[in-house]
Structure 1
């Protein structure tokens, strides 16, 4: 990378960093942008298709969302759809049937109420009885070839975008960013080790030498907090890395089947998905496991975890409060058991049978090397686990640290739009806000 003097340095070449480079290059007057990625490829970790559930979260089948959150997420998800319409080759966005499945009288009653509450904002969602479910997903509605005995109900659709290969989308974003007005440089195998404030901006020390930037945006997962701590920010935060594992069964589902969320649990409910990179299989998960590292399937990062955890009585109190709740405690212990080779298939099969009643333990294959690691933030001031998005945006500094998007990569363009507005305001350069609204938001802006 020849030009080491940048207007904006983006640390991390995953979906978040790629989306911001696209937003700034196409829709602002920022002149030079550099992406610094420590691995040899773009989207090597959580944005890779093998590291996430490949879902375009629209708020329609996620029962842990309030209506207000679902409406916002829908707008951000539609930005991905509008982007796909603009690219010459869309090899990342797909349509599959999708549904929320309710099992038993109590869940069916809750789902029916939710469906009607959400109907105005999600008019394409239909309420399906057992017969309709059997048409769309026979393996869900039938047990031993006959209608299953429990009452089942679903809220679903068959012709909406539902799946994304975010690794491929990252590459498309970079390709489109290169067509923009900015000079975009991507530096791979470049690990940022330190950020220093200078009179003119910031210096980033890397294994490939020093880069200078007027503005720095760090979108490096759990490592974002470490870099923030180096310059004195985020010291009241701690990281709890949650790993999600998956299982494969032979292809049994035609689309995405989500189950009703237990409101007491802060983690995603079990679901089944088509796998975009293993087309002959259905992927089921995720399990939830705390791992003492910041990256799932790479060597090291254990020491980085302990630095980010900053273990003290406040962090211990958060863990203690979580473990005091019987529902959460049992969930955590059960998910630990899912990692025990001789036990996990039998235990997991019982959970899977809620939406695939014919599944047997021998049908399940542990998806080795599949699944990512999502950093959850502990707020040491309030002594609470904060689920969802976490960012640090210091006042009067040209710095942003993004630790985890919410919900997942779906909001990459929405978050990029938010960050781009901050970058442009603080650098004093124009942003083409109305063009973003017209191109990516269907004419309706996101709330500030």
Structure 2
């Protein structure tokens, strides 16, 4: 016998799940009982952890592989999240203000930046296009030791953010708990979700629970739960691990990204200071395909086998993806990065010195234990990688698979999910747009 039925159950206590706990508890009238289930002993200990991601608040401006529509979506997501950070997380160490830059080297990359600036400048009032003279003034280390005959340029925005998404998740939880609507189960593994008429039964390691609606925000495991309920059979996961290097040879007060190729789903190498240690610069990430759903957790290999990537359809899809020569080159380069001694040298030449020419071999050290897993969605029918985050809509259940820029999009995504649940509630729930506008000053 179940003592109560929850209005909403959220599976996963990363920044995506905790953002939903916050939005549902404050801005959805009629929702009074929310359950948040997290398998670890605290929130945000996997890909939302401080050292597991790039700590970037993406806004769509300096992400040169985002089209205009996606850029504007991320602009709105950034505005929403930065408003929360400024209002609720002061003194928590959850963010640091800094500049953001997309830095281009060579005629092709300079042209890409120039064309992008023309396309988006009216939507980003603080965005600037910088030539060599401005770059020397703002970040001279980018030009020191560089051939002056090679064109350089940058898209620059002075008002960016670095975010500790673990601390942000803790802020979401702290605010949500103030409403008295949220029950949090830590150290509790969700084993199965079963449909029971109009309800869902959530079977966990510490008991079973009933909910009217379920939000699954469990990274790559979201797809496994979706498969178990008969959803998203045409999708699988390609787990891509990110790795970083450290350097103390230079110190930037901002984030410098390379120009990203729209054909590739993965971020170009960048250099920035760690959000919790401004004196420690991080370089990366590299990208390695690994047979794990959580980095360093070898028992997740068994779960990897359940994703469907190992099989005829998965193999055919991967083969089709690797028919693209750019993908082959990208994969080969990252394989070389993993080699002892040679890999570090190759990363220095191909990635690090493209950003900072004066860096030397001894200046960079592998950041052991840092970096997370990007759960890259693969459409096995069409044989292609899906760009960015993925959302699978079921009947009163939503599965979010959130590789980058998923953390940046967590609040906007939570609003989207809340409004979807409201729409399906038959009038039982109402999204409080007036309160949301008052809190954030943003239209959704």
TM-score by length of 2: 0.94
Partners of 2:219 and 2:443 lie apart in 1 by: 30
**Paired positions, count:** 437
Partners of 1:332 and 1:198 lie apart in 2 by: 44
Partners of 2:324 and 2:430 lie apart in 1 by: 50
Deviations 1:6-44 (A, max 9, x none): 221100000011000000101112111111000011001
CA contact (8 A) 1:421 1:431 kept: yes
Partners of 1:319 and 1:383 lie apart in 2 by: 7
CA contact (8 A) 2:321 2:383 kept: no
CA contact (8 A) 1:102 1:152 kept: yes
Aligned to 1:6: 6
Partners of 1:356 and 1:275 lie apart in 2 by: 17
Per-residue deviation, 1:405 = 5.1
Deviations 1:179-202 (A, max 9, x none): 23x521111000000111113511
For residue 65 of structure 1, give the secondary structure of its aligned residue in structure 2. coil
Aligned to 1:111: 113
Partners of 1:88 and 1:41 lie apart in 2 by: 18
Aligned to 1:240: 238
Indicate how the Cα distance of structure 1 residues 171 and 221 shifts in structure 2: closer, same or farther if over 3 A, else same: same
For residue 68 of structure 1, give the secondary structure of its aligned residue in structure 2. helix
Deviations 1:224-249 (A, max 9, x none): 11112222222221111111111111
Per-residue deviation, 1:113 = 2.2
Indicate how the Cα distance of structure 1 residues 3 and 92 shifts in structure 2: closer, same or farther if over 3 A, else same: farther
Partners of 2:242 and 2:16 lie apart in 1 by: 20
Aligned to 2:126: 124
For residue 40 of structure 1, give the secondary structure of its aligned residue in structure 2. coil
CA contact (8 A) 1:4 1:210 kept: no
What RMSD, in angstroms, separates the aligned Cα atoms of the two structures?
1.9
For residue 256 of structure 2, give the secondary structure of its aligned residue in structure 1. strand
Partners of 2:86 and 2:109 lie apart in 1 by: 37
Aligned to 2:321: 322
Aligned to 1:303: 302
Aligned to 1:60: 61
Give unpaired runs (5+ residues) of structure 1: none
Indicate how the Cα distance of structure 1 residues 405 and 4 shifts in structure 2: closer, same or farther if over 3 A, else same: farther
Aligned to 1:94: 96
Aligned to 1:81: 82
Q: How does 1:171-190 map to 2 (within 5 A)?
A: 171-180=170-179, 182-190=180-188
For residue 346 of structure 1, give the secondary structure of its aligned residue in structure 2. helix
Partners of 1:238 and 1:157 lie apart in 2 by: 36
CA contact (8 A) 1:405 1:412 kept: no
Indicate how the Cα distance of structure 1 residues 281 and 86 shifts in structure 2: closer, same or farther if over 3 A, else same: closer
Aligned to 1:408: 406
For residue 47 of structure 1, give the secondary structure of its aligned residue in structure 2. coil
Partners of 2:16 and 2:220 lie apart in 1 by: 13
CA contact (8 A) 2:317 2:382 kept: no
Question: Given the alignment of the two structures, is residue 353 of structure 1 paired with residue 353 of structure 2, yes or no?
Answer: yes
Question: Given the alignment of the two structures, is residue 376 of structure 1 paired with residue 384 of structure 2, yes or no?
Answer: no
Q: How does 1:160-179 map to 2 (within 5 A)?
A: 160-179=159-178
Aligned to 2:282: 283
Q: Which one is further off, 32-41 or 427-436? A: 427-436
Aligned to 1:390: 390
Partners of 1:408 and 1:222 lie apart in 2 by: 12
Deviations 1:103-143 (A, max 9, x none): 12222222122212221111211122222212221211212
Partners of 1:203 and 1:156 lie apart in 2 by: 49
Partners of 2:260 and 2:252 lie apart in 1 by: 20
Aligned to 2:42: 41
Per-residue deviation, 1:148 = 4.5
Indicate how the Cα distance of structure 1 residues 39 and 225 shifts in structure 2: closer, same or farther if over 3 A, else same: same
Indicate how the Cα distance of structure 1 residues 364 and 4 shifts in structure 2: closer, same or farther if over 3 A, else same: farther
